[in-house]
Chain A
Amino acid sequence: MPINESDVTWVSEPKMNFWESTFLPAIFQGLKVTASHIDGHTVTQQYPEEPVKLPMHYRGVHRLNRDDQGRVKCVACMMCATACPANCISIIATEAPKNDPVWEGRDKYPASFELDELRCIYCGMCEEACPCDAIELTHIYDLTGKTREEMIFNKDKLLSVFDQTKDSGVDPVRTHRGKLSGTADFQSLPPLAPATSVNPDDRSAKASSPGVISR
């Protein structure tokens, strides 16, 4: 489809004035900018010596949360295994024994919950899919192991990650038992800001929906 004539803006190179054409002011301006950065300020993190500063939404090793009675929170609904694009979660569900005080109020729980940390792409889809916030990604980033088998985390190991991280400050337990998670609480969806900020002089800012590239 040819471009509509009215959509075409012809732009010509602006004319340089006297000082611009000597290039000297631009050079000195550039030198001023670069020299102003020589002030000892740095954005480098000295990683092995200094602890790394991770963003709050960092996605690291998974954990299986416990509820307030210490039971595994997972209800074995298979939502995470279904959502997982890497197919790294395998769950065997089993029925919770009736009349057992330990499993009071629960119908199902995972008999086995295996997560292959090597296969996982750490996309966080399982966390999004989980209806009861049982699986969460923590800030643990330095995961190592000597064998592949060691890196397949079972239920106990995932629960131990929970015990290890719940009080670390960066991985708080986000929900409480008896309530469905986050999205269930919304009465209306919060308004979304444009993904990137747009210069008000920019042509895209004057479009019908500012900041959004249409089609």
Chain B
Amino acid sequence: MELLKNPLIMAGVTIAVVLGGILGACSYLIWLERKLSAWMQDRLGPNRVGPMGLLQPIADGGKFLLKEDVIPDHVNKFLYLMAPCLSLITTMLAFAVVPFGPVSHAPGDFPFVIAPGIDLGIVFVFAVGSLAVYAIILGGWASNNKYSALGSLRASAQVVSYEIPLGMSVVGIALLNHTMSVEKILMYQAEQGFAGWNVWYQPVAALIFFTAALAESNRLPFDLTECEQELVGGFHTEYSAMKFAMFFLGEYTHVITISFLTSVLFFGGWHFPVIAEVGSPWFLKVGVLLLKVLLIIVLIQMLRWTIPRFRFDQLMGLAWKVLIPMATLNVVIVMCVLEFELPRFWLLPLSAGLFATVGLISTQGSLPQRSLTAAPTAAHGHGH
């Protein structure tokens, strides 16, 4: 126990817990996703390995490890092997500042975050998390395959575009809570109770953050980088066995991270009225937080099997024409509220107003439309 007071050893223990937890969670979330999609489509899903197919993730993992490790002749070996490692490392690294329980700084206590006390938390997550696109670009480039290259080009365009609304949507939160530290934002919400949850003051930001984060993690409906109909497998066409599994784990870890961030930044983290208040025991807080995260992950999975994939111009239009202006206006609104010292509850009607304005502009607006086809000629003069 005395040994655990050493912060280095404690950090090692935390890393071990997080690594084991995330890898286990990833494999069973994949099982959950397969089951959910099966039920939605009136199928059964994996049901052969173990009861309810519960041993399926273990069988899959074993298969990935034992499969022949193919490295095609035409690839750039160094970059080809580096890409999946980068994918896993960056997404795992981003999790370092995400609190997964009541954060404690006292020596000897389990800290519930790998790196406690990082004041630049949000910036760190975005900076490191968006490095994951390097893995995709490198994988696509090193594969020396046109489909992979196209997939990674799409990924870079997409991530660069969605990085902006993602960052902007959190600026409002940082301004309101006077901090960039994830754990301090959590505590600030928890101390103010249910009414202190950031989602009441920043509903539009929450929506933008969730959408942009979903796009960042390259999941449906934003998985243009690996759409099978057009790009075979996208950037991971040439990857097999454990290298493919590492890409997949990276993607899933990203999903877990954004779910944690959504619940911590907007939905009060481990706080829930009556069940988990500031003075509650740690297991209740962890339970509440994990339940919230699970709900968000299930929502993401349900969205994946509900919404069809965007077209690429729609994807870019959503980011540049809708999310970025909306996020900018949201930041302006927060600034105005803080500058003129209006009560915080003004943010809710103002956000609703912003949302309504954007909706109205898109229906009533007469923005110049780019004409894709020539107007019908006089010979067929029917007009539209």
Contact = CB atoms under 8 A, between A and B. Distances in A.
Interface in B340-384: 355-356, 358-360, 362-363, 376, 380, 382-384
B40 A42 contact: no
A34 B302 contact: yes
Interface in A22-71: 22, 27, 30-31, 33-35, 37-44, 46
B44 A37 contact: no
A21 interface: yes
Contacts of B44: 42, 44, 46
Interface in A178-202: none
Given A37-B40, A40-B39, A22 B359 contact: yes
Contacts of A19: 359
B280 interface: no
Contacts of B383: 10
B41 interface: yes
B355 A22 contact: yes
B380 A5 contact: yes
Top 6 A-B pairs, shortest CB-CB distance: A21-B362, A30-B306, A12-B384, A38-B39, A34-B40, A34-B306
A17 interface: yes
A34 B358 CA distance: 28
A37 to B, nearest CB: 5
A213 interface: no
Interface residues of A, number: 27
Contact of A31 (B306, B355, B358, B359): B306
Contacts of A143: none
A42 B42 contact: yes
A41 B42 CA distance: 6
Contacts, number: 61
Given A22-B358, A34-B306, 16 more contacts: A8-B382, A10-B382, A10-B384, A15-B363, A16-B363, A18-B359, A18-B360, A22-B355, A27-B307, A31-B303, A41-B42, A42-B39, A42-B42, A42-B44, A43-B43, A44-B43
Interface residues of B, number: 24
A31 B42 CA distance: 15
6 contacts: A5-B380, A10-B376, A31-B303, A41-B42, A42-B44, A44-B43
Contacts of A21: 359, 362-363
Nearest to A5: B380
A42 to B, nearest CB: 5
Contact of B363 (A12, A18, A44): A18
B320 interface: no
Greatest chain B CB density within 10 A among A8, A33, A37 is at A37
B124 interface: no
Interface string B37-52: 0011111100000000
A162 B199 CA distance: 72
Interface in B275-329: 302-303, 305-307
A38 B36 contact: yes
A30 B306 CA distance: 6
B33 to A, nearest CB: 13
A151 B330 CA distance: 75
A111 B114 CA distance: 87
Contacts of A40: 39
Nearest to A12: B384
A182 to B, nearest CB: 37
